Amino acid sequence: MPVHLGQNVTNEVRVRIAPSPTGTLHVGTARTALYNYLYAKRHHGKFIFRLEDTDEVRSKDEHTADLIEGLHWLGLTWDEGPDIGGPFAPYKQTEKVAHYREIADSLVASGKAYLAYETVEELAEIKGDTADGHSRYDNRGRNYTAEQLEKFRAENRLPSIRFRIDEPRTVTWNDAIKGPISIDTSTLGGDMVIVKSNGVAIYNFAVVVDDVDMEITQVIRGEDHVNNTAKQILIYEALGHTVPEFGHVPLMNDIEHKKLSKRRHGESVHVGSYKNKGYMPEAIVNYLAQMSWTPADDREIFSLAEASEIFDLGKISKSPAVFDTQKLDWFNGHYIRSLPLDVITERSKAFIDASKLHEYSDTQLKELIGSVRENLTKLSDVSEHVDFYFGDTLTIPEDIQASVLNSDSAKQVLNKALHSVGTMPWGDNKGCKAIVDSIGKELKIKGKDLYWPLRAALSGKTHGPDLGLMLSVLGEKRVKARLESALGLCRSC
């Protein structure tokens, strides 16, 4: 048996998400993280979270916190990382600066990379704009003489390290999503910087070192990285490492087919904004998952766990995805209606004025939320729907007063209801409704003429949750106060 040498001798699937903490968690990054997570679960492998935090100026701790919180909120927990007690922390590139440098030096020693001494001004002159719109380095650093190098050193110039990109050559790979891809190395911009003159490794280099170190088997990331992949394959070769499988996920556009970006779309690309507005993480996960991937059985609604069993990278669409908030709202409404009422009640609490919550027990809150959840698209809508339940009295809008309370029958109904308060079986929705119906029978008033004055008095609206439930949840004190106050309005009208 030949000994299996090289990366990942166990053949375990190992994938990762590697965002930079230069911004908050973008919905596109969340979808890529999700596809990586699903791929890992489907193949009983590991999902890793690594922070590409080498940009000292733009990396921010609050962005790191947001990325972590967002991924946790979506349920995309990772399987490895520094142990900080509780969930793992992410791996960080800043902890490996010396390691990248060491590997880059080994490439210099083997002639696959070299020290390049051009100043920023010289580089600007060299690059210019080429006919195809791509600026490129003219590889002059390959040919400096010993004297020239000596002169640069004497001037105390700090070199960057450039990796040699041979041209002409075609780099090819069979992309797990896009199929065969070929990139001509002459389109890659010339020999590339892998370590800047300040000693910081460039993304295309650090990412390869990390993916090798972490024994990554599949690199699943956004389509915007296709050209980077060609560069990275050249680095894998130079380092003598097995190239992982690559899968490039299509970009995400808005409904007008414009790329989703923070600049153009503001907070609506930020996963945390959906949390703040009362979206269900289950809905976001389902929506993002089905955006570019359709399960073999065409089902549209599925949980993270269900998707983990059937996810197929090869079935990801090649065409751009469309982020459509109306469609997301449809998914969210579905989950608000179908998740256990306990869960929805607990999550709704964050959207109800905390100073009011004590008015009801948890069981009553559950009924109260249950009575309105059909109408909710997101939980931030909950307060406008349940607001009338709180407080002894409420303000009845003038148009409702005029159209509903301004009649003799309304006065009769409210009077009779007020006298029946003592007989209401509080806590029994059907029993309360039965009392209302018996009032109607006795007064020979039915339909709108019976129900609307009561609804107006109790909720300030003519439509809403089941009347029996409203009475039963509101309870004796509130019902009495509200009927009295509505009757007061009746008398004056």
Least Å distance, CB 204 to ligand GLU, is 9
**Amino acid found at 401:** Q
For every residue of 413-432, DSSP letters joined together read HHHHHHHHGGG--TT-HHHH
Q: Quick check: 207 binds ligand GLU (CB under 6 A)?
A: yes
Token pair in block for residue 274: 């959906």
Judging by DSSP bridges, how do beta strands 160-163 and 170-175 pair with one another?
unpaired
DSSP letter (8 states) at residue 110: T
Q: Can you tell me which of 14, 31, 136, 221 binds ligand GLU, judged by CB under 6 A?
A: 221
Token pair in block for residue 36: 């990586």
Q: Between residues 216 and 369, which has the closer beta carbon with respect to ligand GLU?
A: 216
Total residues binding ligand GLU (CB under 6 A): 8
Least Å distance, CB 232 to ligand GLU, is 8
Least Å distance, CB 20 to ligand GLU, is 5
Token pair in block for residue 257: 């087919």
Token pair in block for residue 390: 């709180």
Nearest residue to ligand GLU, scored by beta-carbon proximity: 221
Residue 386 phi, psi dihedral angles, 5° rounding = -105, -5
Judge contact between 108 and 161, C-beta under 8 A. Answer: yes
Least Å distance, CB 288 to ligand GLU, is 16
Q: Between residues 219 and 417, which has the closer beta carbon with respect to ligand GLU?
A: 219
Q: Quick check: 333 binds ligand GLU (CB under 6 A)?
A: no
Q: Between residues 269 and 336, which has the closer beta carbon with respect to ligand GLU?
A: 269
Rg of the chain over Cα atoms, rounded to whole angstroms, equals 32
Q: Between residues 210 and 367, which has the closer beta carbon with respect to ligand GLU?
A: 210
| Angle formed by the axes of helices 281-292 and 325-338, nearest 10° | 130
Q: Quick check: 210 binds ligand GLU (CB under 6 A)?
A: no
Residue numbers annotated as active site = 262
Q: Can you tell me which of 225, 231, 385, 482 binds ligand GLU, judged by CB under 6 A?
A: 225
Alpha helices in 201-357 (DSSP H): 203-213, 226-239, 262-265, 271-276, 281-292, 304-310, 325-338, 341-348
Judge contact between 279 and 378, C-beta under 8 A. Answer: yes
- Say how far apart CA 246 and CA 79 lie, in whole Å: 21
- Say how far apart CA 234 and CA 170 lie, in whole Å: 10
Least Å distance, CB 52 to ligand GLU, is 4
Which stretch, 218-226, 313-321, 356-364, 462-470, contacts ligand GLU (CB under 6 A)? 218-226
Judge contact between 141 and 113, C-beta under 8 A. Answer: no
Decide: helix, strand or coil at residue 174. Answer: strand
Token pair in block for residue 198: 């300040």
Q: Between residues 232 and 290, which has the closer beta carbon with respect to ligand GLU?
A: 232
Phi-psi region of 246 (alpha: psi -120 to 50; beta: other; left: phi over 0): beta
Q: Of 6-65, which residues contact ligand GLU (CB under 6 A)? A: 18-20, 52
Judge contact between 193 and 118, C-beta under 8 A. Answer: no
Q: Between residues 59 and 371, which has the closer beta carbon with respect to ligand GLU?
A: 59
Using alpha carbons, select from 401, 413, 409 the residue that is nearest to residue 483. Answer: 413
Q: Between residues 260 and 469, which has the closer beta carbon with respect to ligand GLU?
A: 260
Q: Between residues 263 and 463, which has the closer beta carbon with respect to ligand GLU?
A: 263
Q: What is the binding site for ligand GLU (CB under 6 A)?
A: 18-20, 52, 207, 221-222, 225
